Amino acid sequence: MRKWFPIALIALAILWYGLTAVGSSQALDELGLRPVQSLLHEGERVAVQPPVRAAAPGEAAIVASRGIHFGFSTTYQMPDGGSVTCRYRFRRVSCSDGWTPERAP
């Protein structure tokens, strides 16, 4: 029984590493093909800075991006000073504080 424990841990680590790599590549693919164009919350729509230029007045600016388990995370600075974090995991996108991402078709 004891000899299977290290084998199971090694298998779990390989699976975790593989799923993280697949999730990150799919998330970056989604970010490139269907970027977030605006954020919607309780009827308020805020345009989002495209990755190719600086944020215009009134747009949410990208302030941080980083890799996370099974995906990618982007933090936006809202025009009112707040921040919203959107997480891309595999092909799904979700944002914090009840914000809904509107993406390109």
CA distances (Å), origin 28, targets 32, 67, 93, 96: 6, 10, 11, 19
Q: What is the DSSP letter of 88?
A: E
Question: pTM of whole model > 0.85?
Answer: no
pLDDT tens profile 31-78: 788 888 999 999 899 999 887 788 888 899 999 888 888 888 999 999
